[in-house]
């Protein structure tokens, strides 16, 4: 049988690599740019305790406790190790994600083999799990690593439990005669398995909070899949006793979580719901998750959540009817085959944490939450298909079953390959998300930001910002955070256009909508700086810097103020801090170079002006400044080439024309 297991693992890995190989060249996307690229805690010169004892956003406000519900130290520790070994190479990050996905898939195979002993069902289920399109968000998005890491250790903990649980049913005579020399060895093995299972449960919790469902899964298994204990009361008592090691581990985790965050859970939403409304939405969300597993089509990185407020909403009744049908079928199969009842329960139980809608992120419904629940679904799909074909002869059943599996593998794999492309880069990600959810103010705002920053398309950016503002203001989905974000985008657009009064007006409106957004205060200060109101802008930036010392924008503009006020050493300190957080920050390189030039350190200035040009080769200002630095060092011919390039990019750029005239006079004097 070992040969067949090797074939199974090889097939799982081959198909997994084929399906997700086109994700390996994707860039850092969305939260990756903040949790990884801009996170100073991932640098080797930072104490590792900062990674282990803060939430994923803790670097933004060090020493202030938790600012989110996401305490996932092993996710951040893995990122830190990757950076230490290979640097900020997104290919390696994606390769690690794919490796974790393949490990999770192999664990799925081992679990099913342990549960069923059926090679065909185990392999078929695992192949569907490996290729299911619902997993693209978790695998193709680097920040989804937390789902994969949690799943690997979740499944490993459960596999060790199943090993332990099987030994519970061995009689003393079987122990001695079949596998074990003496009872002491048997007890030692059981202890090892239970301790290992409880420890890996703790590891899963440190990857993601969703692992909290593992004790419920174990309890459900003990109740639903009886072995030698036939009475329900005996199984309940046995289940409680079995859970004790896991409850001890969970208690230790809660204590650690509270110590780090200062709370166990906090609301992360701008709206509030009554208990009744929460129940209505719980039913609706559960139905949506089941439906997405059944039909993984129209996948989307950002689903709009519109809360239900009344039982008269038809969405509630449709969802309730759908769930009742599923629950009814689950009870029907439970009476016939207990493992199938367990698979139904698996999906419901593992989705419980993400139904705490006030504790999850702004995108309440999201595909990556289905990574662990999909194990139960894939098992159900394979098993029920096998049952549906039971009326056929064995030979025909194998042929039809194999053909059905191959068709599903092709459909799943093809859609997965296509879906991976949605995570290629920030522009494609936000564009696809905005197209899929055109009424999402969040995605319209994000697309506007990328259009401005990466594409330089200020007209399109303004259009999407105004659309986001309109959507965020609507009565049924009013979100002050997104209102402020739209004004933030508009203010930045007007600053780039040189319309500083309009920019200041937009920033004031943004602060009136939500004054808790640091970036809104930053852009307000920038508008003030551009209008010459440095005395008003400076204390505002200092206040933000106290709150968020690792914000590169704040450091950049504090440096600009110091440079303008000729506090050159202070300016250098600010610019260097900004570059430590974001090494490829073009404007910080440019301003640091300008500061060095003001100090007469022309060689140092040249290095950073060159870096500016390397990062933004189509920026005429960068080429102009580099030409000036080269001229300072007497490298006139090189300076002339760069100033010509600046004018090719922007023929009417006045600073470049001025520098060109000076260079031509210098050349003539030669």
Is residue 358 very low, low, confident or very high in pLDDT (cuts 50, 70, 90)? confident
Domain boundary among the residues 253, 275, 300 is at: 253
Check whether residue 233 and residue 302 sit in a common domain.
no
Is residue 153 very low, low, confident or very high in pLDDT (cuts 50, 70, 90)? very high
How do residues 97-125 score in pLDDT, each as one tens digit? 999 999 999 999 999 999 998 999 999 99
363 phi, psi to nearest 5 deg? -90, 90
Question: How many Å apart are CA 156 and CA 154, to the nearest integer?
Answer: 5
Residue 316: domain span: 265-388
pLDDT at 173: 44
Question: How many Å apart are CA 362 and CA 385, to the nearest integer?
Answer: 37
pLDDT at 179 over 60: no
| Spatial CB neighbours of 284, under 8 Å, sequence gap ≥ 6 | 308, 315, 316, 319
CB neighbourhood size of 111 (10 A): 20
pLDDT at 102: 98
pLDDT at 477: 61
Question: How many Å apart are CA 372 and CA 105, to the nearest integer?
Answer: 11
Domain boundary among the residues 232, 253, 274 is at: 253
Check whether residue 202 and residue 223 sit in a common domain.
yes
* CA 338 to each of CA 115, 167, 216: distance values in angstroms, whole numbers, following the listed order: 11, 20, 16
Q: Note whether residue 575 is domain-resident.
A: no
Number of domains, the chain: 3
Residue with token string 């036939």: 230
Mean pLDDT of 181-199: 80
Report residue 243 CA to chain centroid gap.
31
* Alpha helices, DSSP H, located in 178-313: 183-207, 214-224, 232-261, 275-294
How do residues 368-404 score in pLDDT, each as one tens digit? 999 999 999 999 999 999 888 888 888 888 889 899 9
Check whether residue 236 and residue 289 sit in a common domain.
no
Check whether residue 366 and residue 273 sit in a common domain.
yes
Concatenated DSSP letters of 538-605: HHHHHHHHHH-TT-HHHHHHHHHHHHHTT-HHHHHHHHHHHHHH-TT-HHHHHHHHHHHHHTT-HHHH
| Spatial CB neighbours of 353, under 8 Å, sequence gap ≥ 6 | 209, 210, 212, 213
Q: Note whether residue 22 is domain-resident.
A: no
Kindly state the DSSP code that residue 360 receives in the 8-state scheme: S
Q: Note whether residue 415 is domain-resident.
A: no
Helix (H/G/I), strand (E/B), else coil: 367: helix
3-state secondary structure 9-24: HHHHHHHHHHHHHHHC
How do residues 625-634 score in pLDDT, each as one tens digit? 999 999 999 8
Range name among 19-28, 169-178, 196-205 with the lowest pLDDT average: 169-178
CB 151 within 8 A of CB 104: yes
Check whether residue 273 and residue 378 sit in a common domain.
yes
Q: What is the largest CA-CA distance in the chain?
A: 105
Mean pLDDT of 153-165: 95
368 phi, psi to nearest 5 deg? -65, -20
Mean pLDDT of 298-303: 92
Concatenated DSSP letters of 466-526: HHHHHHHHSGGG--HHHHHHHHHHHHHHHHHTT-HHHHHHHHHHHHHH-TT-HHHHHHHHH
Is residue 475 very low, low, confident or very high in pLDDT (cuts 50, 70, 90)? low
Kindly state the DSSP code that residue 192 receives in the 8-state scheme: H
Q: Note whether residue 375 is domain-resident.
A: yes
Is residue 229 very low, low, confident or very high in pLDDT (cuts 50, 70, 90)? low
Is residue 3 very low, low, confident or very high in pLDDT (cuts 50, 70, 90)? confident
* Alpha helices, DSSP H, located in 119-231: 119-131, 136-140, 145-167, 172-174, 183-207, 214-224
Torsion sign over Cα 233, 239, 244, 248: negative
Question: How many Å apart are CA 439 and CA 449, to the nearest integer?
Answer: 17
Check whether residue 306 and residue 374 sit in a common domain.
yes
Q: Note whether residue 531 is domain-resident.
A: no
Q: Note whether residue 395 is domain-resident.
A: no
CB 530 within 8 A of CB 44: no
Q: Note whether residue 441 is domain-resident.
A: no
Report residue 51 CA to chain centroid gap.
17
pLDDT at 667 over 90: no
Domain boundary among the residues 370, 388, 406 is at: 388
Structure tokens at 415: 């859609």
Is residue 306 very low, low, confident or very high in pLDDT (cuts 50, 70, 90)? confident
How do residues 278-291 score in pLDDT, each as one tens digit? 999 999 999 999 99
Mean pLDDT of 591-604: 94
Check whether residue 207 and residue 166 sit in a common domain.
yes
Structure tokens at 539: 């204390």
Mean pLDDT of 11-19: 96
Burial of 222 (0-12, 13-18, 19+ CB in 10 A): buried
Question: How many Å apart are CA 157 and CA 221, to the nearest integer?
Answer: 14
How do residues 641-656 score in pLDDT, each as one tens digit? 999 999 999 998 888 8
Check whether residue 237 and residue 309 sit in a common domain.
no
In 3D space, the residue among 24, 135, 143 whose CA is nearest the CA of residue 75 turns out to be 143
Is residue 174 very low, low, confident or very high in pLDDT (cuts 50, 70, 90)? very low
- Measure the N-to-C terminal CA separation of the chain; round to a whole number of Å: 85
pLDDT at 74: 97
What predicted TM-score, i.e. pTM, was given to this entire model? 0.91
542-547: long-range pairs with CB below 8 Å, 24+: 544/518, 547/61, 547/518
For the chain, give the number of residues: 670
pLDDT at 176: 46
| Spatial CB neighbours of 550, under 8 Å, sequence gap ≥ 6 | 38, 40, 59, 60, 62, 581
Q: What integer best gives the mean pLDDT of the chain? A: 91
Question: How many Å apart are CA 594 and CA 604, to the nearest integer?
Answer: 10
Check whether residue 204 and residue 292 sit in a common domain.
no
pLDDT at 443: 94
Helix (H/G/I), strand (E/B), else coil: 263: coil
Check whether residue 284 and residue 247 sit in a common domain.
no
Helix 534-547 vs helix 518-530: angle between axes, to the nearest 10 degrees? 160
Check whether residue 215 and residue 322 sit in a common domain.
no
Helix and strand tally (H, E) in the chain?
Answer: 31, 0
CB neighbourhood size of 308 (10 A): 22
Is residue 440 very low, low, confident or very high in pLDDT (cuts 50, 70, 90)? very high
pLDDT at 145: 97
pLDDT at 181: 54
Question: How many Å apart are CA 458 and CA 442, to the nearest integer?
Answer: 18
pLDDT at 175: 46
pLDDT at 478: 73
Q: Within 13 A of 183's CA, how many CA atoms are on the CB side?
A: 5
Check whether residue 286 and residue 227 sit in a common domain.
no
pLDDT at 230: 66
Concatenated DSSP letters of 369-410: GGTTHHHHHHHHHHHHHHHHTTTS-HHHHHHHHHHHHHHHHH
pLDDT at 669: 73
Question: How many Å apart are CA 423 and CA 528, to the nearest integer?
Answer: 37
Kindly state the DSSP code that residue 179 receives in the 8-state scheme: I
Q: Note whether residue 179 is domain-resident.
A: yes
Q: What is the CATH number of the domain that holds 602?
A: 1.25.40.10
């Amino acid at each position: 049988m070992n040969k067949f297991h090797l074939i199974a693992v090889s097939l799982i890995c081959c198909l997994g690599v084929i399906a997700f190989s086109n994700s390996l060249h994707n860039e850092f996307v969305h939260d990756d740019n903040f949790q990884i690229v801009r996170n100073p805690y991932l640098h080797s010169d930072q104490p590792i305790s900062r990674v282990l004892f803060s939430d994923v956003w803790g670097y933004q406000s060090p020493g202030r406790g938790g600012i989110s519900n996401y305490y996932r130290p092993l996710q951040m520790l893995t990122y830190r190790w990757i950076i230490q070994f290979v640097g900020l190479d997104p290919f390696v990050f994606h390769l690690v994600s794919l490796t974790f996905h393949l490990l999770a898939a192999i664990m799925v195979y081992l679990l099913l083999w342990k549960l069923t002993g059926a090679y065909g069902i185990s392999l078929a289920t695992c192949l569907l799990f490996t290729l299911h399109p619902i997993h693209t968000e978790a695998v193709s998005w680097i920040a989804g690593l937390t789902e994969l890491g949690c799943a690997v250790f979740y499944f490993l903990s459960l596999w060790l439990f199943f090993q332990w649980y099987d030994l519970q049913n061995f009689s003393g005579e079987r122990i001695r005669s079949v596998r074990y020399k003496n009872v002491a060895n048997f007890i030692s093995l059981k202890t090892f398995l239970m301790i290992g299972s409880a420890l890996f449960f703790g590891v899963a919790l440190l990857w993601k909070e969703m692992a909290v469902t593992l004790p419920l899964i174990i309890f459900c298994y003990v109740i639903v899949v009886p072995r030698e204990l036939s009475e329900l009361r005996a199984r309940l008592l046995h289940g409680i006793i079995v859970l004790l090691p896991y409850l001890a581990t969970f208690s230790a985790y809660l204590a650690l979580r509270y110590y780090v965050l200062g709370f166990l859970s906090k609301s992360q939403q701008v709206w509030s719901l009554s208990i009744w409304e929460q129940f209505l939405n719980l039913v609706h969300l559960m139905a949506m998750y089941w439906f997405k597993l059944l039909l993984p089509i129209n996948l989307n990185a950002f689903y709009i959540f519109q809360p239900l407020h009344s039982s008269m909403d038809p969405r509630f009744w449709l969802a309730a009817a759908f769930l009742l049908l599923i629950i009814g079928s689950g009870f029907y199969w439970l009476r016939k085959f207990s493992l199938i009842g367990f698979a139904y329960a698996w999906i419901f139980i593992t989705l419980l944490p993400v139904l705490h809608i006030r504790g999850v992120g702004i995108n309440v419904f999201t595909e990556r939450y289905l990574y662990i629940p999909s194990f139960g679904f894939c098992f159900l799909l394979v098993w029920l298909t096998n049952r549906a074909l039971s009326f056929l002869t064995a030979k025909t059943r194998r042929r039809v079953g194999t053909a059905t599996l191959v068709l599903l593998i092709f459909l799943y794999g093809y859609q997965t390959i296509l879906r991976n492309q949605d995570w290629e880069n920030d522009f494609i990600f936000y564009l696809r998300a905005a197209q899929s959810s055109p009424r999402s103010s969040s995605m319209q705002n994000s697309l506007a930001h990328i259009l401005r920053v990466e594409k330089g398309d200020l007209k399109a950016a303004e259009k999407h910002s105004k659309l986001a503002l309109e959507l965020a203001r609507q009565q049924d989905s009013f979100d002050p955070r997104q209102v402020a974000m739209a004004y933030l985008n508009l203010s930045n657009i007007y600053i780039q256009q040189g319309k500083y009064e309009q920019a200041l007006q937009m920033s004031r409106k943004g602060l009136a909508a939500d004054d808790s957004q640091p970036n809104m205060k930053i852009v307000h200060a920038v508008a003030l700086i551009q209008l010459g109101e440095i005395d008003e802008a400076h204390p505002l930036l200092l206040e933000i810097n106290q709150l968020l010392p690792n914000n590169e924008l704040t450091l950049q503009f504090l440096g600009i103020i110091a440079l303008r006020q000729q506090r050159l050493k202070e300016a250098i300190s600010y610019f260097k801090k900004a570059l430590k957080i974001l090494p490829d920050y073009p404007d910080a390189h440019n301003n640091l170079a300008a500061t060095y030039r003001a100090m007469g350190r022309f060689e140092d200035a040249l290095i950073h002006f060159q870096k500016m040009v390397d990062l933004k080769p189509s920026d005429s200002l960068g080429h102009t400044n580099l030409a000036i630095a080269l001229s300072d060092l007497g490298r006139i011919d090189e300076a002339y080439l760069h100033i010509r390039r600046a004018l090719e990019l922007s023929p009417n750029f006045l600073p470049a024309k001025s520098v060109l005239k000076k260079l031509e006079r210098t050349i003539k004097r030669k």
